[in-house]
Structure 1
Amino acid sequence: MKFTTSPALCLLLIITEALASPYFIFSPPDSLSQSQSQSSKSKSSSTFGKISHDSSEKSHTSSSKSSSKSKGYMKFPTQKRQISKSSSHESIINSSNSNKAAASSSNGTSDGTDGALSFDMTHQDAAYMLNLTIGSNNQPITLQIDTGSSDLWVINANNSWCSETSQGKGAYSTEKGNSSSGVQSDAENGYSHDCSVYGTFDPNDSDTWRATPGLFSQTYGDNTGANGTWGQDTVTIQGVEIKDVYIAQSDEADENYGVLGIGFRNLEATNSDTATESAFTYDNLPITMKNQGLIYKNTYSIYLDEYSDTDSAILLFGAIDHDKYTGDLGLLPIATNSTDLDIFLNGIYMSDGNSNVTIAIGSAPVVLDTGSSLTALPSDVLEAILDQIGASTSKDKSGSATYTAKCSSLKDQTFTFDFMGYKLIVPVSGFVIDMSGKTCTLGFQSSESIGFDYIFGDTFLSNVYFVADLDDNEIAIALANTGSTTEDLEAITDSIPSATQVPGYSSTQTGSDLILQTGSSTDSAGKGGKSSGAAANVKPSLANSLICSVVLMASLVLLI
């Protein structure tokens, strides 16, 4: 085959390819270069929507909060109810304050300044607890903090299921479930509970107790729950007195501690489909605090710094602590008509530092639930994640699954969670709940048995800082500044300070699930497509250049 190419065409081709080459550099005048540099830097510093644990910039300014730091909010350190762990632990990532280490067993001070009291348990579960007192005689009670429910209920001192020697199953998590009038009694199976560990309440000993009509019944996703009656009394939390708080006192409960639910009013047990009396709502604890002028809005922020050296966990009503997060604070709408803290998730991605994999994309509401110790995902999504991690699955006699992996294999692996265009990059090691030798146990569970597809419990929430605005139905979220020992408080009087709406804030989200992606991967730069495609585009260019070079040389020889 005869091939002819004109010298002029070859010269034009070479110039064109040179200009298109990524190695072709154009140096602008100093003034233009400086202008572009400043513009690029400004865009970089204000780029919103993708942050990682390496980010340390704060999106707030100190001048915006000087006028409101002395009032309008209430901060309560919480305790972490700890699971038993092996005495030998292995650090799986060096010099990173975002990685989980062995949980501390140190006790806090009586005024709660340490904020991290731990209790050794004999089970594989955990709960975040808060100390308070109830009644005119300040009866001490320790309750689990639960964003996934809305009632404050306590164990009655005369609960027939309580005994001084506990033979019970241990702690439980208030995973999502429907209220019902029937609670399966552990006492019927020969179990009892040492209710003195977390305190009981005797309404007869309180001069300020006032019984109110109605029966209380609550059952959680793990088939635990409580039955009882309603009343009102004074609650004192670390020196702050809150009067006329609605309280359910349970004379039938199959565990030894109660719950302080701080969710939406519509989630209250009195408003459930199975309420034994006519359904109604009441002002729960956060709303009562607002009504009594203790906080400006029904807002609170959660900081579950479980695995750093400080082992602190803070519940902050009516304010935000700017020192407890890093990077941009993304503002998301709570799902329309939701009774939970639901925000929309649009994608789950994973990376091992060399390649990126798309696990699932779509649109699904996820519940931010401190009452659930694990992160629950649909089985197909969970299996895809476990395969990517290289984790193993084992089941006990009851069918409960445990997921483990070599700790060393988790070192460079990360998740990217896409919340309506706002991306949070979290290390896989952030989901480790136990380390034994070189084996790490992962804090996931299949959601099929719970009834909610996506519940982001403590294993997710311990990696982030979030602010819930129940008045305006919004959630602000960012990566947690793990190990924080200082505070920068700002009362929330209007919108959440320093929070910026996420890219998809105004979009209509109607999906209910993410679609599993199989074999979907990108290169290490995250550009998508197959890396071999770029190499294929180079070969014709090289061939053209060689041919044209020969033609030009021949033309020069003829001219000479």
Structure 2
Amino acid sequence: MKNIANLATSSLLASVASAQVVQWDIQRRENPKPRLSKRADNSVEEIITNERMRGGYFASCTVGTPAQELTLQLDTGSSDIWVPASEASICEDSSQGGGCTFGSYDYEKSSTLDVLNNDFQIAYVDGSGSRGDYISETFGIGNIKLQNVTMGLGLDTDIAYGLVGVGYALNEASVSQTRQIYDNLPVVMRNEGHIKSTAYSLWLNDLDASKGNILFGGIDTEKYTGNLIRVNIDQDQRVQNYTSFQVRLTSLEAHSSSGEDALSSSNFPIPVVLDSGTTFSYLPQDIVEQIWTEVGAEYTIVSNDGSGVPLLPCDFGNSGNYFSFGFGGNGGPVIKVGMDELVIPVQGKFTSGQYAGKDACQFGIQNMSSDPFLLGDTFLRSAYVVYDLENNEIAMAPTDFNSTKSNIVAFPSQGAEIPSSTPAPSQGATNSGPNNDPDYSAGRGFQSGGGGSGSSGGSSGDDDSAASLPPALDLTQFIVMGASMGLMLFGGGMFLLF
């Protein structure tokens, strides 16, 4: 989701506590009941689910006294907690499997409710939204309870679950409504002494992973490989302050068994927001054309209004090919994203063309017309990312998929540097990317040069399909489609749902 007023995006995770860190573990939902376990460091681990069909990552939390259990979506791209009210019409409608199946909040049953005002209102570019009251309530994560947490109460909402935003306070919905800022979840954790510094690390693990986590107040050195390298977060020039986790993408390369291609863009260095609440990733039109040609993706119309999605055969995910995303110039962090993380099932087949009869999947990188561009879950699963809201820095390293070890290092004090990290040495220099040739053509292509089961029948650099690519999405068209988009596809002539 994308907050219209603040140009923010959405999604969130949840829960473990110790004296200096609070960790929320992520697990693909097998059982609707969360499982808690005591850890050796006296913290508590709570399972968080990867809801592939809804899109996004969800966490079990409690609200109110006595505690009411809800499952909320974790979002680094927004900054508010909000919960659906049990009296909201969408929660009361249980017909055809509807209703708020992830839980809702009954304010009449809580003794700790304090209504602050009726100014809560948040809207998303797909037309959905929520409005109601700002309230102060008890908020539970694992074995810790936070007192007097400000959150929104969705009395009138068309979204059947709430969200937990952990972004900058300046990105709160209240800023656009009343210009008021309040202490949001990461700040409250620091103020109440559960963490030393307003910072957290995110480990989503791979697409099919059973477990991952977000760790407040520390890092886990067993969840990444190589070195953590820091880059600066961009200031929002409109307000001369920090409102989102925007950094600079300075290079992008495609790697296959036939070689590598350095991709070009007139937008380098590309401003990108690292957002766990966006299922796919959205980059400028000029570089996306090259990416789609590399992988053999075909833009397919899926609705009567002419909108569509990039599709490709599902077996292309087995090719072993990958993209390298570079940040902060030479010596900055480089994250490899494999095709297995970018090929998303949509339950359909190609009915004509070069891929006729093959199972169709949606490709995880899509096009957008203007910044801020977004790197969502299709990128973030391959990166271990530390968000430092005190020093306005982000550190990244390649993720260690399915790691079973843990070594948690807490931030020693407020404002301390990210542990075990070094700064990108060249990020102050201008970097226009490794290839700024306007005549660039994906000369090798992932599929034309071999590699994996998808090596035959794909696009090559001589293919002219890029010329027929759609216009880039702009903010008025942008919809965060999520993995559930596959269930909604219809028509298009070339693609047919089962």
Q: In the alignment, is the contact (CA less than 8 A) between 2:230 and 2:393 conserved in 1?
A: yes
Q: CA deviation at 1:453?
A: 4.5
Q: Distance in 1 between matches of 2:272 and 2:50?
A: 28
Question: Alignment partner of 1:75: what SS?
Answer: strand
Query: 1:498 matched to which residue of 2?
Result: 420
| Inter-CA distance 137–114: structure 2 relative to 1 (3 Å threshold) | closer
Query: 2:182 matched to which residue of 1?
Result: 282
Q: In the alignment, is the contact (CA less than 8 A) between 1:107 and 1:117 conserved in 2?
A: no
Q: Distance in 2 between matches of 1:240 and 1:373?
A: 29
Query: 2:234 matched to which residue of 1?
Result: 335
Q: CA deviation at 1:520?
A: 6.1
TM alignment of 1:394-543, pairs within 5 A: 394-397=300-303, 398-410=305-317, 411-421=319-329, 422=332, 423-434=334-345, 439-448=360-369, 452-493=371-412, 494-507=416-429, 517-519=438-440
Q: In the alignment, is the contact (CA less than 8 A) between 2:18 and 2:194 conserved in 1?
A: no
Aligned partner of 2:426: which letter?
Answer: G
Q: Distance in 2 between matches of 1:427 and 1:231?
A: 43
TM alignment of 1:110-149, pairs within 5 A: 110-111=35-36, 115=47, 117=49, 121=53, 125-149=54-78
Q: CA deviation at 1:443?
A: 1.6
Query: 2:40 matched to which residue of 1?
Result: none
Please say if 1:74 is aligned against 2:25: no
Q: In the alignment, is the contact (CA less than 8 A) between 1:265 and 1:283 conserved in 2?
A: yes
| Inter-CA distance 243–364: structure 2 relative to 1 (3 Å threshold) | same
TM alignment of 1:44-63, pairs within 5 A: none
Q: CA deviation at 1:433?
A: 1.8
Q: In the alignment, is the contact (CA less than 8 A) between 2:50 and 2:57 conserved in 1?
A: no
Q: CA deviation at 1:374?
A: 0.6
Query: 2:491 matched to which residue of 1?
Result: none
Q: Distance in 2 between matches of 1:338 and 1:116?
A: 28
Q: CA deviation at 1:299?
A: 0.5
Aligned partner of 1:110: which letter?
Answer: R
Return the structure number with greater helix share: 1
Q: CA deviation at 1:340?
A: 0.6
Q: CA deviation at 1:222?
A: 2.1
Q: Distance in 2 between matches of 1:161 and 1:379?
A: 37
Q: In the alignment, is the contact (CA less than 8 A) between 2:273 and 2:372 conserved in 1?
A: no
Give CA deviations for 1:247-291 in whole Å, capped at 9, x if unaligned: 11011111100110000010001111xx1xx31101001101101
Q: Distance in 2 between matches of 1:228 and 1:409?
A: 46
Q: CA deviation at 1:359?
A: 1.6
Query: 2:140 matched to which residue of 1?
Result: 236
| Inter-CA distance 380–80: structure 2 relative to 1 (3 Å threshold) | farther
Give me the TM-score of the superposition, normalised by structure 1.
0.66
Q: Distance in 2 between matches of 1:331 and 1:287?
A: 22
Query: 1:322 matched to which residue of 2?
Result: 221
Please say if 1:206 is aligned against 2:110: yes
Query: 2:210 matched to which residue of 1?
Result: 311
Query: 1:372 matched to which residue of 2?
Result: 278
Aligned partner of 1:262: which letter?
Answer: V
Aligned partner of 2:326: which letter?
Answer: D
| Inter-CA distance 461–71: structure 2 relative to 1 (3 Å threshold) | same
Aligned partner of 1:463: which letter?
Answer: S
Q: CA deviation at 1:414?
A: 1.7
Question: Alignment partner of 2:234: what SS?
Answer: coil
Query: 1:47 matched to which residue of 2?
Result: none
| Inter-CA distance 240–303: structure 2 relative to 1 (3 Å threshold) | same
Q: Distance in 1 between matches of 2:444 and 2:301?
A: 35
Question: Alignment partner of 1:162: what SS?
Answer: helix
Aligned partner of 1:467: which letter?
Answer: V
Please say if 1:347 is aligned against 2:251: yes
Give CA deviations for 1:378-432 in whole Å, capped at 9, x if unaligned: 2332121101111122121144423232345451422121201222222233212
Q: Distance in 2 between matches of 1:389 and 1:457?
A: 19
Aligned partner of 2:313: which letter?
Answer: K
Q: Which runs of 5+ in 1 are unaligned?
A: 1-68, 82-104, 169-192, 525-560
Q: Distance in 1 between matches of 2:52 and 2:316?
A: 29
Give me the TM-score of the superposition, normalised by structure 2.
0.73
Give CA deviations for 1:302-347 in whole Å, capped at 9, x if unaligned: 1111434x42121111010111111121111101234110111112
Question: Alignment partner of 1:266: what SS?
Answer: helix
Query: 2:14 matched to which residue of 1?
Result: none
**Percent identity for Structure 1 against Structure 2:** 31
- Give the aligned CA root-mean-square deviation in angstroms: 2.8
| Inter-CA distance 74–427: structure 2 relative to 1 (3 Å threshold) | same
Give CA deviations for 1:353-396 in whole Å, capped at 9, x if unaligned: 32221222521210000111111122332121101111122121
Return the match for 1:245 from 149, 156, 162.
149
Question: Alignment partner of 2:378: what SS?
Answer: helix
TM alignment of 1:5-84, pairs within 5 A: 71-80=19-28
Q: Distance in 1 between matches of 2:27 and 2:284?
A: 30
Q: Which runs of 5+ in 2 are unaligned?
A: 1-16, 38-44, 236-240, 348-357, 446-498
Query: 2:482 matched to which residue of 1?
Result: none
TM alignment of 1:245-264, pairs within 5 A: 245-264=149-168
| Inter-CA distance 473–260: structure 2 relative to 1 (3 Å threshold) | same
Q: CA deviation at 1:501?
A: 0.8
Question: Alignment partner of 1:130: what SS?
Answer: strand
Q: Distance in 1 between matches of 2:385 and 2:323?
A: 18
Query: 2:197 matched to which residue of 1?
Result: 297
Q: Distance in 2 between matches of 1:151 and 1:445?
A: 27
Task: Look at both structures and tell me which one has the larger radius of gyration over its CA atoms.
Answer: 1
Question: Alignment partner of 2:379: what SS?
Answer: helix
Q: In the alignment, is the contact (CA less than 8 A) between 1:230 and 1:248 conserved in 2?
A: yes
